């Protein structure tokens, strides 16, 4: 029988320092099943879906059927918990993103942003209603914060309005870039209460009257996930579907602290995926009668990519450990997101470079990672916004405006 440590080496050869050895046997088994489901069901279709700008719902369902959020193997010794361990989550993102960034993004919107919004913002009744169905993927979730006119300045600028009328709230406004907005069952919408000016969160349910979401066309990055432009005209949400623990942007930030770390993990996974694909290619390609992997200039790039990947895994694993201990800080998440995204951007460029002309086709995989990295660099706080968060801590001076 293969030992756990041998198995993780086989699954993640790019994890040179062996961070994955901290996973439990059950967690590794689930990740191995995820790998098999991705390779068997999603691999044959992913480039076609990327090209036609659509999400492979039926094929991805085979991956979620593994129980990526709720498989009992993830809860051994921690029965009653609502979430798998953070280290597993980091490696789940590695697994998904080293395969495809749109798949990982779909998951982060559902299992990261939406799920954490329910857990952190909902009362017991709401958590009981939504969390199990989200964890089993019976319901699809999304996350409506960004607006057409407010991205980086959303904290102060959020313009979607919520007006209370008896036992209901009336929502008006627009949201942009919302992953899965046209298919989701559970749509948390952040809106400003016209009475007290505070940001609150309302669960809009699929089919709500006055809600429409059109996929944003002509994207050149993350083409395999549909990002919606939402318009809400007098959408009615009952008070019972307002998440009562969200009463201002400070509460939204508690969600973003977690999800920013998730996106650092996605950047780690993309770096790993691009590196692994590039390494495979250079070993096969010959020029000047020799394998291009034998050229010193190519080898230097391979080493740089490998170093970036190990550094990114290191950041992700440490932040996962801190989260597990309840030591979550926006500074840590912002630093990890910033660091891993910068390294990712360099890694995908090097990966594309060593694949030459074939590196600009979808055949070698690196082009998908190269194009998709741009969206990850921007979402969940742009590079600049995360850098400003880090430097605010360093200097004590907020330099956003
Ligand atoms: C593919 C994708 C998926 C997304 N999914 C979701 C989702 O599911 N839900 C959701 O709510 N949102 C989502 N977003 C939105 C995302 O979080 C925003 O795009 C991001 O916050 C940046 O906002 P913006 O695009 O409006 O850029 P802007 O804020 O307009 O920024 C443009 C540029 O100006 C810079 N800039 C802005 N302010 C400053 C400053 N003070 N100092 C220095 N530079 C500054 C930025 O860093 C950036 O380089 C998604 C975005 C993308 C691209």
What would the pLDDT profile of 272-289 be if each residue is shown by its tens digit?
999 999 999 999 999 999
Topology classification of domain 249-395: Butyryl-CoA Dehydrogenase, subunit A; domain 3 (1.20.140)
* C-alpha distances out from residue 62 to 71, 136, 295, Å: 14, 12, 41
Each domain of the chain, given as residue ranges in start order, spans 4-135, 154-243, 249-395
The residue contributing the CA closest to ligand 1 atom 24 is: 151
Domain 4-135 belongs in CATH node 1.10.540.10: yes
CA of 150 to the centre of ligand 1 (A): 8
| Å from CA of 43 to ligand 1 middle | 30
Task: Tell me which residue has its CA closest to atom 35 in ligand 1.
Answer: 384
- For residues 6-35, give the mean pLDDT: 97
> What is the DSSP track for 288-332?
TTEEGGGSHHHHHHHHHHHHHHHHHHHHHHHHHHHHHTT---HHH
**Structure tokens of 353?**
């470079």
Ligand 1, closest atom to CA 179? 8
Q: Quick one: which H or E segment has residue 232?
A: strand 227-238
Residue-averaged pLDDT of the chain: 97
The Cβ-side half-sphere exposure at 109, using a 13 Å CA radius, reads 30
Residue keyed to tokens 């329910």: 118
pLDDT single digits (tens) 217-256: 999 999 999 999 999 999 999 999 999 999 999 999 999 9
What is the rounded CA–CA span in Å between residue 337 and residue 379?
Answer: 10
Q: Give, as one character, the DSSP assignment of residue 217.
A: P
Which ligand 1 atom is at minimum distance from the Cα of 227?
Answer: 3
Q: Is 177's C-beta closer than 6 angstroms to any atom of ligand 1?
A: yes
pLDDT of residue 1: 80
For residue range 161-219, list pLDDT tens digits in order: 999 999 999 999 999 999 999 999 999 999 999 999 999 999 999 999 999 999 999 99
Fold of 154-243: Butyryl-CoA Dehydrogenase, subunit A; domain 2 (2.40.110)
Report which ligand 1 atom has the smallest distance to the Cα of 109.
8
């Amino acid at each position: 029988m293969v030992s756990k440590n041998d198995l993780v080496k086989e699954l993640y050869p790019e994890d040179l320092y062996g961070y994955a050895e901290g996973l439990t046997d059950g967690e590794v088994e689930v990740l191995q099943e995820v790998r098999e489901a991705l390779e068997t069901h999603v691999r044959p279709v992913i480039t076609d879906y990327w090209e036609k700008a659509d999400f492979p719902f039926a094929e991805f369902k085979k991956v979620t059927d593994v129980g990526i959020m709720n498989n009992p193997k993830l809860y051994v010794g921690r029965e009653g918990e609502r979430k798998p361990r953070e280290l597993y989550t980091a490696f789940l993102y590695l697994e998904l993103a080293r395969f495809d960034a749109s798949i990982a993004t779909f998951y982060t919107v559902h299992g990261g942003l939406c799920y954490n919004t329910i857990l952190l913002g909902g009362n017991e009744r709401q958590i009981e209603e939504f969390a199990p169905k989200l964890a089993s993927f019976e319901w699809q979730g999304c996350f409506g914060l960004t607006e057409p006119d407010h991205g980086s300045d959303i904290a102060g600028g959020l313009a979607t309005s919520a007006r209370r009328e008896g036992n209901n709230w009336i929502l008006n406004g627009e949201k942009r870039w919302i992953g899965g907005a046209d298919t989701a069952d559970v749509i948390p919408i952040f809106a400003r209460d016209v009475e007290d000016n505070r940001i609150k969160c309302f669960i809009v349910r699929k089919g709500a009257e006055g809600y429409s979401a059109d996929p944003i066309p002509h994207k050149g990055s993350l083409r395999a996930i549909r990002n919606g432009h939402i318009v809400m005209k007098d959408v009615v949400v009952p008070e019972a579907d307002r998440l009562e623990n969200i009463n201002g942007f400070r509460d939204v930030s508690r969600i973003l602290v977690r999800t920013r770390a998730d996106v650092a993990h996605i950047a780690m996974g993309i770096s790993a995926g691009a590196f692994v694909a590039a390494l495979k290619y250079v070993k096969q390609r010959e020029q000047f009668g020799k394998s291009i992997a034998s050229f010193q200039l190519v080898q230097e790039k391979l080493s740089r990519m490998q170093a970036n990947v190990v550094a990114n895994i290191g950041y992700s694993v440490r932040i996962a450990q801190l989260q597990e201990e309840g030591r979550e800080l926006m500074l840590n998440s912002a630093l990890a997101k910033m660091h891993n995204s910068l390294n990712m951007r360099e890694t995908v460029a090097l990966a594309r470079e060593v694949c030459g002309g074939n590196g600009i086709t979808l055949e070698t995989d690196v082009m998908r990672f190269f194009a998709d990295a741009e969206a990850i660099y921007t979402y969940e706080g742009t590079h600049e916004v995360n850098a400003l968060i880090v430097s605010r801590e360093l200097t004590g001076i907020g330099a956003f405006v």
